[in-house]
Amino acid sequence: MDPILAGILGSALVVLLLLLGMPIAFLMMLVGFLGVWALSSFEAAIGVLGRTIYEVSSHYPYTIIPLFVLMGSFASQAGITSELYGTFDKWFRTLPGGLGVATIAACAGFAAVSGSSVAATAAMGNIALPEMRRFNYHPRLAVGVIAAGGTLSFLIPPSLGFVIYGMLTEQSIGKLLISGVVPGLLLSLAYILVIYAQVKLNPKLAPVVPGKVSLREKILALKGVWETLLVFLIVIGGIYFGFINPTEAGGIGAFCLFLFTLIKRKFSFHGLVSALFEMTRVSTLVLFLVSGATIFSYFLALSTIPQIVSNWIASLAVSKYWILTIICLIYLLLGCFLDAVSMMVLTLPVIFPVITVLNFDPIWFGVVAVLMMEAGLITPPVGLNVYTLAGIAKDVPMVEIFKGASPFLVSIFLVVFLITLFPSIALFLPSLMGR
């Protein structure tokens, strides 16, 4: 069979099976297997299938995935989320939209010890939503803030988004994690500005919380952030200065947070089993997705389609930034139908060679890709953060949650624009790393 024709038919089959509801990991494995068989031999296809699944599941650096998931689970058990919210509530509650600002700050803090956006959304939904309701915040603003704040865990390290991107593109996971620090803080600030602007335009969205908090109370409240700060400095500081690699950092971070659950007497056997179950579930899901994407990439490489597309784009007489804009729009469109991880594994085999040909920095593009994945977490109709929050705020229609989260998409686009204009925002810290 002609390689290009096989590639086109295979891509069409992927879309068809996706529309029929087949799990994306298995449909990519199936199409990749059939494609390699058609372009090579059955023996080669079986060899690629077996070798890829084994190599992905046994590759030592990939143990970072369960360790990062375990960090998030132990952080939740240790009550770090509620402590962070309590601290930032004291500091920001008197500002316009202060409880929303405190929620974003707490989400950013929780993101520093957890790589799961869904976990962050669920945790903050249970803590911040009742408080905002108590002070008559408009439901749309309250749920929108939480849904958007949860996306920060996909960007601020330790981030599973960067881990998966690094696995698929063979880039340094350590540098990718560090590259998310400044953009993550910038996005948090942008979210806060969106809250401030909404409340200034319509003060009824967020009534002023009565009472004042003394400076002494604010300073005493800072004790609620020391655990997060310590773990973040150990994990991310260790990676940055080259003392430990990302996998070791995940193990140390998980151990530290486990110790906090013991010290604070919040450890339970049921909690441990739940944490291990979640770790196994997420790790298995991600590893199957990466295996499927790798097998599909073998097929695409044999079909020569990525090379043809890359060469064609390189020959276009247009700015590479127009092509980048089109890629971002594609991600925005796919975010309406696919979850963030599925988007990444489905598109990177084709898009990453294009990025390489256009001479964009692969670490920098990792930040852009993760930011666009974040947008997918809150865009209708398939926004995982929105679905998670809908299970908590059962009296708020899902359409209202999507409407509440939509203004925060502007923040994501703004940060993408800024790091495109000033790439050093993402690349400065990685360029100074120890190794």
Q: How far apart are CA 77 and CA 97, in angstroms?
A: 28
> Which has the closest alpha carbon to 363: 408, 425, 415?
425
Q: Is 299:32 a contact under the CB 8 Å cutoff? A: yes
Amino acid letter, residue 234 = I
User: Domain-by-domain residue ranges, the chain?
Assistant: 63-291+313-431
| Percent of the residues in the chain that have a pLDDT greater than 90, as a whole number | 19
Cα 369 from chain centre? 10
Model confidence, pTM: 0.85
The yes-or-no verdict on residue 421 having pLDDT over 90 is: yes
CB-CB contact of 435 with 242 (8 Å): yes
Does residue 186 register a pLDDT over 90? yes
pLDDT, residue 408, reads 92
Residue 187 pLDDT greater than 90, yes or no: yes
pLDDT tens for residues 22-64?
888 888 899 999 999 988 888 989 998 999 888 888 877 778 8
Residue 33 is predicted with a pLDDT of 92
The total of other beta-carbon atoms located within 10 Å of residue 361's CB is 16
Tell me what pLDDT residue 46 has: 92
Q: Which of 202, 253, 230, 236 is nearest to 429 (CA)?
A: 236
* Strand positions, DSSP E, 275-429: none
Q: Exposure string (b/e) for 251-263, b if CB count within 10 Å is 16 or more?
A: bbbbbbbbebbee
Q: Name which of 333, 386, 378, 327 is nearest 353 in CA terms.
A: 327
pLDDT band per the 50, 70, 90 thresholds, residue 424: very high
pLDDT for 434 = 52
Strands (E), 41-159: none
Structure tokens at 362: 């692969």
Q: How far apart are CA 407 and CA 410, in angstroms?
A: 6
Residue 103 and residue 117 in contact, taking contact as beta carbons nearer than 8 Å: no
382 pLDDT more than 70: no
**Nearest CA among 225, 186, 229 for reference residue 411:** 186
The alpha carbons of the chain give a radius of gyration, in whole angstroms, of 22
**pLDDT tens, position by position, 196-236:** 999 989 988 888 777 777 778 888 888 878 888 888 888 88
The average confidence (pLDDT) of the chain is 86
Which region among 41-55, 242-256, 382-396, 411-425 has the lowest average model confidence (pLDDT)? 382-396
With DSSP H G I counted as helix, E B as strand and the rest as coil, what are the percentages for the chain, rounded to 5?
80, 0, 20
Task: Express each pLDDT in 254-268 by its tens digit.
Answer: 999 999 899 888 888
pLDDT bracket for residue 180 (50, 70, 90): very high
- Residues 396, 130 contacting (CB under 8 angstroms): no
Tell me, what's the pLDDT at 374? 84
pLDDT in tens, 311-354: 777 777 788 899 899 888 888 888 777 777 778 888 888 888 88
Q: How far apart are CA 101 and CA 194, in angstroms?
A: 10
Rounded Cα gap, residues 276 and 19, in angstroms: 32
* Burial annotation 139-168 (CB, 10 A radius, 16+ → b, else e): bbbbbbbbbbbbbbbbbbbbbbbbbbbbbb
Calpha distance 383→389 (Å, rounded)? 10
Interval 206-216: pLDDT, tens = 887 777 777 78
Integer Cα distance of 177 and 187 in angstroms: 15
Tell me if 155 sits within 8 A of 111, measured CB to CB.
Answer: yes
